Amino acid sequence: MQSVILGQEQMIESVVICLLARGHVLLEGLPGLGKTELVKSLSRLLGLQFRRIQFTPDLLPSDIVGAPILQETGTGRELVFHPGPVFANLLLADEINRATPKTQAAMLEAMQEHCVTVMGQSHELPQPFFVLATQNPIELEGTYPLPEAQVDRFTFKVDVHGVGKETLQEIISTRRHGQPPELEQVLSASELGDLFQMVDQVHLPDAVAGYIARLVSATNPSAPDTPDEVTKHVRYGASPRAAIAMAGTSRAAALMAGKPNVGFEEVRRVAQPVLGHRLILDYSAKLDGWTTTRMVEQIVSSVPEIDRALPPDLGE
């Protein structure tokens, strides 16, 4: 991946961690930073069935999930369901926030339940199923902010930043017309399934699980022992889905580090991409210079790794 996307090592690592945890990724950044190319390269490396949906304001829900079409059959005319592009292993939802909220909502059931329901009939999606969505910053023209319910479906939100002048020089010196090198498949479907099982076998110690629970709890302003900054500036905190996502991605991060169990450092590694997009700040936060990134950093620095309220033998 790093031979294709230059100068974005942390972004690539985050995407691979989320993939191993069988989660969905939301990539946010300005156009031209390699978000789309990253997803296309990932599909080639893994040999997964790949589909791309270019989200536009006139896109309809049926353009995503499919629709029943009247056809002649052996018993006469019948409505036959024709699957949409969502029926793939790896779905690129390109510029997802350029579609209307109604169309964006068509992804909710697919991302959570791995199926779509049309005219009362459910249709299972291929497995594995991943959504990697790209979105432009909401300050740009022609964007619709994703609703909180859909943002919560994404395991990770990764901010894609620009690269340095050395990387830019390497790109223009080694790539004509910006074309990346050709990639060969490195994993089969069965090998990918083996990796999923290995992630599930990574041990999550009780002390680390407690740390995750206290981090997620600290994002809610009504919870006890919440940092003062959260009480003052956070309107809504993270849901239990965030704790589940943090546990799963921590296991994947530990596996990538060659460790048989999750440590506190893996939890800190995934805290920002898991929690950042799930916090909703009030209006006073922006006036005081607070962002969700800064708020997550404050929470991580405020919550101790070991719960001092527990007896020593339970906290170690």
DSSP 68-128: EEEEEETTEEEEEEEE-TT-SSEEEEETGGGS-HHHHGGGHHHHHHSEEEETTEEEEPPSS
The whole-number pLDDT of residue 308 equals: 64
Report how far residue 78's alpha carbon sits from residue 155's, in angstroms, rounded to the nearest whole number: 39
The CATH code of domain 202-315 reads 1.10.8.80
The whole-number pLDDT of residue 314 equals: 42
Query: Residue 284 in 3-state DSSP?
Result: helix
Q: Which of 293, 35, 14, 282 is CA-nearest to residue 155?
A: 14
Instruction: Break the chain into its structural domains and give their ranges.
Output: 9-183, 202-315
The whole-number pLDDT of residue 260 equals: 93
Q: Which of 20-24, 161-165, 243-247 has the lowest mean pLDDT?
A: 161-165
The whole-number pLDDT of residue 216 equals: 92
Does the pLDDT of residue 231 top 90, yes or no?
no
Main-chain dihedrals φ then ψ at residue 82, nearest 5 degrees: -110, 115
User: Which has more confidence, 75 or 186?
Assistant: 186
Q: What is the DSSP letter of 155?
A: S
Does the pLDDT of residue 8 top 50, yes or no?
yes
Q: Do domains 9-183 and 202-315 have the same CATH topology?
A: no
Evaluate whether 307 touches 316 at the Cβ level (below 8 Å).
no
Does the pLDDT of residue 300 top 70, yes or no?
yes
Domain 9-183 has CATH 3.40.50.300: yes
Does the pLDDT of residue 273 top 80, yes or no?
yes
Full-model pTM? 0.84
